[in-house]
Amino acid sequence: MSAPDVTVAVTGAAGQIAYSLLPRLLDGTIFGARVKVNLHLLDVTPALEALGGVKLELEDLRLPTLGRVLTTDDQETAFTGADVAVMLGAFPRKDGMERADLLKKNCHIFAEAGKSLARVGKPTCKVLVVGNPANTNAAILARNAAPTIPAQNVTALTRLDHNRLNSQLALRAGARLDDVRHAVIWGNHSSTQFPDASRATIAGTPVGEALPSADDTAWLRGDLIACVQKRGAAIIKARKLSSAMSAAKAISDHLHDLLNGADDWVSMGVASDGSYGVQPGLVYSFPCACTGGGAFQIVQGLEIDDYSRGMMKATEDELAAELQDALAAAAE
C-alpha cells in the first residue's frame, strides 16, 4: 500500500529562507515520516537556474519523503494541486527601507497570487504568508483568493516573533525553552507588535514569580518588548540580510502546529472576527488554539488591562492604515 502524499508550493524558492526551509518540509516533522512531499518551487525567471541547483540538492539529500520536484516561474503551475502554499517570495526588506515602500512593492505581487490561487487552487489549501509586510500581504491575498479559498485558510507568520519572545523569557529565567507557555504576540509583524508575557508561565510558575525582582518587572514591560519588536531590524543590521534559519524554523513550527495541533497557545496572524475589539478583516496576530487539520480558534476571554489595550490598539491602527494604503496601491 502506497503512502499518502501532499503537495507544497513554495514561492521565492531559490532564496535564503527556502534553502533552510525545504529540508524541514521533508524531515517528517510536519507531514509525517511516511508521507511523500511533492514540492512545487516557484521563483522569478532569472532565478530558475539557481532553482535548478536547489532541485539537485534536494535529490542529493536522499530523504525518503521526497516526492516529485517541479520548478517553475509560472504561478498557476506552482499553485495547481497544492495542499499548502508557503509565500516566501516578496520584494526584500533592506536596511533603512521604509515599510511604506515595501508595501507598495508587494501589494501587486500578493494580489496576483491571490487571483492565481482562486483560479487553480484547492479550496482546502492552507496558505502561509511570510513575505513582508506579512499581515497586510496576507489580507490582500485573502481578498483576491476569495471565495475559492476561505479567509481562515490564509495565515501570516508571527511565529518568529513568538519564538523570539519565548526564547528571551527562557534566557532571562535560565529555563528550558519548552518550559515557557502562554507568551503571545498581538498585532502586526512589525515594530508596533505587542509581545505579551503577562500570562506566561515558566516551568508552571507565573512569570511574575519566576522573574520576581524589580529589575525583572521593568524588563518585562521595557527591554523585553523592545528586543522582540526590533529583533528583525537588529539581524538585518548585523547580517545585511533578513532572518533566514530562524524564519525557516518558525515556518516549520507554524505549519506543524496548524496541521497537527498544539498544547500551548500559538501566535498566528489570522483574519480578525472582531475578537478583543480588533477591526474585522485585518490580519492580526492573536493567541490561537490549534486543534489540527488546519483548524484553530482565537483564544477568548482573556482580561486585557489598560496598558495592554493601548499596545494592542497601536498595532491595530498601523494595520488598518497599511491595509488602506495597500488597497489603494493595488487599485493603481
The C-alpha cell of 91 is what?
Answer: 520584494
Candidates 162, 182, 189, 254; catalytic one: 189
**Is 283 annotated as a binding-site member?**
no
- Residues in CB range of 268: below 8 A, 6 or more apart: 155, 156, 158, 159, 254, 258, 285, 286, 288, 290, 296
- 189: annotated active-site residue: yes
**Is 6 annotated as a binding-site member?**
no
- Residue for grid cell 508552571: 204
**Is 62 annotated as a binding-site member?**
no
Q: Which helix (H) or strand (E) holds 283?
A: strand 283-292
Q: Give CA separation, 255 vs 1, 16, 27, 155, in Å.
A: 27, 19, 13, 10
**Is 208 annotated as a binding-site member?**
no
DSSP alpha helices (H): ranges in the chain?
A: 16-25, 48-60, 75-79, 99-120, 134-145, 159-173, 207-210, 214-220, 223-229, 231-239, 245-260, 306-330
Half-sphere exposure (CA, 13 Å, Cβ side) for 277? 13
**Is 38 annotated as a binding-site member?**
no
**Is 161 annotated as a binding-site member?**
no
The two counts, helices (H) then strands (E), for the chain are: 12, 14
**Is 99 annotated as a binding-site member?**
yes
Angle between helix axes 134-145 and 99-120 (nearest 10 degrees) is 30
**Is 129 annotated as a binding-site member?**
no
- Residues in CB range of 60: below 8 A, 6 or more apart: none
Cα–Cα dist 21/252, whole Å: 7
Binding site feature residues for substrate:
93, 99, 132, 164
Residues designated as active site: 189
